[in-house]
Structure 1
Amino acid sequence: MSRLRCTLLSLGLLISGALQAAVPDQQAVATAHPFATDAAHQILDQGGNAFDAAIAAAATLAVVEPQGSGLGGGGFFLLRLQQDDGVDYRFLDARETAPLAAHRDMYRDADGKVSRSASLNGPLAAGIPGLPAALVHLAERYGELPLAASLASAIEAAEKGFQVSDRYRTLGGFRLDAMRADTETARIYLRDGELPAEGTLIKQPELAATLRALAQHGHDGFYAGQTAQRLVEAVRGAGGIWQQADLDAYQVVEREPVRWHSQGHQIISAPLPSAGGIALAGILQGLESLPETERGSVQRTHYLVELMRRVYRDRTALLGDADQVEVPVARLVSADYAKTLADSISADRATPSSELGAPRAFNEGTNTTHFSLIDRHGNAVAATLSVNLPFGAAFTVPGTGVLLNNEMDDFAADPAGSNAYGLAGSEANAIAPGKRPLSSMTPTMLENDQQLAVLGTPGGSRIISMVLLGSLEAIEGQPVEQWVSRPRFHHQYLPDHIQVEDDAFSPAERAALERLGHRIKPVGRDYGDMQAVNWDKRNGELSAASDPRGEGKALARRALKAD
């Protein structure tokens, strides 16, 4: 064979490889429940794209994971659109909103004290749901299939039922009293006032009917008509403050994601009202301004903890719904600002949080869900959804199957106090009509010419640090299974200690950190439920992983050609 022919053949193979790498020609899904993973793959096999699959996954999780998400909740969707002329990213804010009758002192009693129970349990704790609007928005703006097709698996799961798992029972145990207090919640999710045994079938025919109305009528199937009437009447009848005007006003907001370049990747993450993207930008860019350290070293951990401390302090003091409060976002996500954070860190001493400003502490709900997926065209979705605490407000609207969120607790009900997750409150996150509460939900993508990483997790205030640690694993070329399984540690400014999983540090590492002045407090359990997918553009392969701490399912496989 001539040298010219060899050269041409080699060039042809290179061009062919480049074309093959341009789209994965595979599909990958990782969700917190096998039903949802299977539903997403089924939609992809039918010719749907990533956004149709996201509807199927989100709706199915809303049925089979009532402890973490639901039609009565909301969330964030980070989208990657593979287009002929390049790649675009979109962010859908489907966060719940405060009712129009809400006000900053709505949880204070006659003595001026904040009632935590009212912001956690029952309909007064519920914001206006965003997930139903998001499902319709995805179908109308981005999907290829009818909404009814994408909701079919969720409707089937609601009718035929799902089996109670150990995770359901564990999380339900934290909310058992509140669940018992509501007749409809107890009827559906308990048995004789107790948590059902593992394997018990939970059927939700009323929720199936609500999903059918959404499939048939779109936005009006939830926010108008009979469903809306039932929602408003039940909430008001039980002491809540919803009005039809709240449902009429609700809209998904498309926002510009937070983007920056760091560690050889473009990083795309959640903007306000999520604190996640801003915090990640500060930590990852701040790390680049500090002396280089070895992966997994005590010095690296020290630097990460000190950066966490500082970005969480900013969260408490500065961040809120940017539609209603002035937030210096451009400055907070800049490399220059990250360098000022890094410059304030001592290499050999932990900074007491009290030295960074007046201590304030606040709350955020722990139970949420996340899924990540990529379709054969290279479209991708990272979505984090929530009802806040497990089983939300533990209030289910009769005739609808809709279990309401208790996201109002994510506001600073007492701007000088704290919320259910120990996160500090601030004026920027005070309750106001129509406002969206600050969140830590952080769906994130990292991309360069070698990979696309898609990840996220539930976990309340610890979400940001989990996504940080997973992102560092991706940046450092570790397999996707390592992103979701690595031991975790966390610092959130207040309380002033490092929260750790039991196996996060060896005795020697713990002793070394304590010599630097860090206090370490084991959480006493594993936490998080990360779902991640990766596209290795060098060989065109997709991989997916589901956190071994949870009960999810991850599957990457060759796409069935449906188009």
Structure 2
Amino acid sequence: MSEPEYRPVARARKWVRLLTGLLVLVATLAHGQPGPGKAAIASAHYLATEAGHEILEQGGNAFDAAIAVSAALAVVEPTSSGIGGGAFWLLHRASDGHQVMVDAREQAPAAAHRDMYLAEEGNVNRDLAVNGPLAGAIPGEIAGLEHLAENYGRLPLSASLQPAIRLAREGFPIDEKFHRMLMWRAVTMKRWPAASEVFLPGGSIPPVGHVIRQPDLAWVLEQVAEKGAEGFYSGEVAERIVKGVRDAGGIWTLEDLQAYRVKEREPIRTDYGDYELVTAPPPSSGGIAIAEMLNILEAWPINDLPRVTRTHLIAEAMRRAYRDRAIYLGDPDFTEVPVDMLTSQHYADGLRASIRPDRATPSSMLPGNVQLTEGTDTTHFSLIDSEGNMVAATLTVNLPFGSAFMAPGTGFLVNNEMDDFSAKPGVPNAFGLIGFAANEIQPYKRPLSSMSPTFILGEDRRAVLGTPGGSRIITMVLLGILDFMRGNEPESWVSLPRFHHQYEPDQISAEEATFTAEEIEALKALGHDVQVRDTWGNMHGVMWDLQNGELSAGSDPRGPSGRAIVK
């Protein structure tokens, strides 16, 4: 069936979504706002959560608080995000129901090209793709923060940046995760002195509790507070960035920085039961994959099935969505993404028909497969303010500490998001994800992402959720959505044991506490390869009960410094 045949169905679903949205708006007006003065923020670090509440107490709204949380995370969680990286902010404005995704994803520099990481023999040079300045795409976070302040916030950008500037100057104690990730990246980081001076004082890995101070980062943030994004993308800061990158073998130019622009994108919307989901569009693959998986699963009472059957069917839906991710998805400004087809219920019906209830489908049997060989960091926060404005934000530098490279005098780490492009068709990236021509490297293109900030909207409850976790982000959000549908609250969504399938490698990954030994054997009998692994992810969610106006929040217990606060 060709794509145009899906369009009448797509139009009908859009009308359903419009009516659902109107019902939600009516419910909001009928039930009012969250309790007087109440707001909920859940993030990966208690200092960032506190920064958001500080800005709310100064009269800011959710969007001002999102700036404060984002900037604070850039200071205290450089393992996962930073002003040298990018972000997606999914926004809901309560006054008029306006919803949009602010895309501040990094983009390839002008000198980037399809084969830039291929060695003479045609193999991918993974070191160049993930370590050092050549791995970095042009960062978008600062441009995104300015966009939020100018278009949605109530306070000036300079005010919302003050908590982050203070944290950078005064310092913060490192936690267990920071220490563990630093142990993993220290050898690479030592190749670039500026980063080592900040994070490896005296050339050694500091102990848990050691206070990290970042005066250069504070200075850069002060330049932004004074001059806006121009204080980052031009002038002395930009000159330091470009000189440092090029001296170390990178290809950035001042023109690359000045050419960066934030994009506003229409979210992916899909219905599941009595709820509307609003989630991330391309260049995120998350929203389309989540819509596709939910459309497949909607025909079954998935939360009422026996655990083994439920897991089998969810894994088969995951497998098919990740297969489509590899083949179809990329930056929509460069690649024609068949959104209507992939999110169509008719397309999901066809995929569901290929699922056997008694047997796993080998990934090698799905059309479009190629034979592959097998080859985790981001952050998320969720926020609802006292007016009912909502933000789901996922921010990243890709691998822990990004590329591990810092341009001297700038205080921030450069991302390694170029590895999120397909460096060679069918070759997995650092997260084992594969891609083809839709996600190949091109100048000014944005790499495909799994980041999946999501809203769930109903007449009785609203939820904001998301998580880091590389290729596992999409499936974690899916499991959180299904748990919400069971009637559970944020503490349950963020804590539940996880499993994952991403098409290739052809296996179900599971946290240790997810399945019993008997359940694993039953899944293997269906043809699944089950691999038990360490825990993953760091989900944060908030919920608004429209019936009583109460807010609740949950922060993943896997993250040692996460904090969810309602006040």
SS in 2 for 1:403: coil
| Alignment equivalent of 1:144, drawn from 154, 165, 170 | 154
Note the C-alpha offset of 1:104.
0.3
- TM-score scaled by structure 2? 0.93
2:34 and 2:544 in contact (8 A); partners too? no
How many angstroms apart in 2 are the aligned matches of 1:493 and 1:534?
32
Change (3 A) 1:371 1:16: closer
Q: Which residue of 2 aligns with 1:224?
A: 234
1:362 and 1:420 in contact (8 A); partners too? no
How many angstroms apart in 1 are the aligned matches of 2:276 and 2:301?
22
| Alignment equivalent of 2:555, drawn from 531, 546, 549 | 546
Q: Which residue of 1 aligns with 2:442?
A: 432
| Alignment equivalent of 1:324, drawn from 323, 326, 334 | 334
Change (3 A) 1:51 1:293: closer
Q: Which residue of 1 aligns with 2:358?
A: 348
Note the C-alpha offset of 1:263.
2.1
SS in 1 for 2:503: coil
2:43 and 2:563 in contact (8 A); partners too? yes
Amino acid at match of 2:221: L
How many angstroms apart in 2 are the aligned matches of 1:141 and 1:17?
23
Note the C-alpha offset of 1:24.
4.7
Answering whether residue 203 of structure 2 is matched by residue 190 of structure 1, we say no
Note the C-alpha offset of 1:173.
2.2
Q: Which residue of 2 aligns with 1:107?
A: 117
Answering whether residue 81 of structure 2 is matched by residue 72 of structure 1, we say no
- 1:360-388 deviation line (CA, Å, top 9, x unaligned): 55999x20000000000000100000000
- 1:277-314 deviation line (CA, Å, top 9, x unaligned): 00000111110124656156211111100000000001
Amino acid at match of 1:76: F
Q: Which residue of 1 aligns with 2:32?
A: 21
Tell me which moved more, 499-508 or 53-62: 499-508
Answering whether residue 199 of structure 2 is matched by residue 172 of structure 1, we say no
- 1:194-228 deviation line (CA, Å, top 9, x unaligned): 32111111100000000011111111010011001
Paired residues for 1:413-492 under 5 Å: 413-492=423-502
Q: Which residue of 1 aligns with 2:8?
A: none
How many angstroms apart in 2 are the aligned matches of 1:405 and 1:411?
13
SS in 2 for 1:241: coil
Change (3 A) 1:52 1:311: same
- 1:9-31 deviation line (CA, Å, top 9, x unaligned): xxxxxx99975534554200000
How many angstroms apart in 1 are the aligned matches of 2:295 and 2:561?
32
2:41 and 2:383 in contact (8 A); partners too? yes
Paired residues for 1:508-527 under 5 Å: 508-523=518-533, 525-527=534-536
Q: Which residue of 2 aligns with 1:400?
A: 410
Amino acid at match of 1:359: V
Note the C-alpha offset of 1:542.
0.3
Q: Which residue of 2 aligns with 1:163?
A: 173
Aligned length: 540
| Alignment equivalent of 2:508, drawn from 475, 498, 505 | 498
1:373 and 1:380 in contact (8 A); partners too? yes
| Alignment equivalent of 1:61, drawn from 69, 73, 78 | 73
Note the C-alpha offset of 1:359.
2.8
Uncovered stretches (5+) of structure 2, i.e. residues with no partner? 1-25
Q: Which residue of 2 aligns with 1:35?
A: 47
SS in 2 for 1:176: helix
| Alignment equivalent of 1:87, drawn from 86, 94, 97 | 97
1:28 and 1:544 in contact (8 A); partners too? yes
Note the C-alpha offset of 1:441.
0.5
Q: Return structure 1 stretches of 4+ with deviation > 3 angstroms.
A: 15-25, 290-293, 360-364, 552-558
Uncovered stretches (5+) of structure 1, i.e. residues with no partner? 1-14, 559-563
SS in 1 for 2:541: strand
Amino acid at match of 2:370: P
| Alignment equivalent of 2:276, drawn from 257, 266, 291 | 266
- TM-score scaled by structure 1? 0.93
Note the C-alpha offset of 1:551.
2.4
| Alignment equivalent of 1:247, drawn from 257, 264, 279 | 257
1:21 and 1:539 in contact (8 A); partners too? no
Identity of aligned residues (%): 51
- 1:133-165 deviation line (CA, Å, top 9, x unaligned): 011000001000011110000000000001111
Q: Which residue of 2 aligns with 1:333?
A: 343
2:43 and 2:564 in contact (8 A); partners too? no
Change (3 A) 1:258 1:360: farther
Q: Which residue of 1 aligns with 2:379?
A: 369
How many angstroms apart in 2 are the aligned matches of 1:232 and 1:42?
34
SS in 2 for 1:310: helix
Tell me which moved more, 27-36 or 408-417: 408-417
Amino acid at match of 1:105: D
Q: Which residue of 2 aligns with 1:533?
A: 542
Amino acid at match of 2:557: P
SS in 1 for 2:298: helix
Q: Which residue of 1 aligns with 2:11?
A: none
How many angstroms apart in 1 are the aligned matches of 2:333 and 2:106?
14
SS in 2 for 1:544: strand
1:361 and 1:419 in contact (8 A); partners too? no
Tell me which moved more, 173-182 or 22-31: 22-31
SS in 2 for 1:402: coil
How many angstroms apart in 1 are the aligned matches of 2:481 and 2:407?
39
1:274 and 1:439 in contact (8 A); partners too? yes
Q: Which residue of 1 aligns with 2:21?
A: none
Change (3 A) 1:349 1:280: same
1:270 and 1:276 in contact (8 A); partners too? yes
- 1:455-501 deviation line (CA, Å, top 9, x unaligned): 00000000000000011111211121000000000000000110000
- 1:21-56 deviation line (CA, Å, top 9, x unaligned): 345542000000000000000111111000000000
Amino acid at match of 2:500: H
Change (3 A) 1:381 1:293: closer
2:31 and 2:547 in contact (8 A); partners too? no
Change (3 A) 1:361 1:24: farther
1:159 and 1:203 in contact (8 A); partners too? yes
2:176 and 2:560 in contact (8 A); partners too? no
How many angstroms apart in 2 are the aligned matches of 1:161 and 1:327?
44
2:34 and 2:550 in contact (8 A); partners too? no
Change (3 A) 1:151 1:429: same
How many angstroms apart in 1 are the aligned matches of 2:146 and 2:384?
20
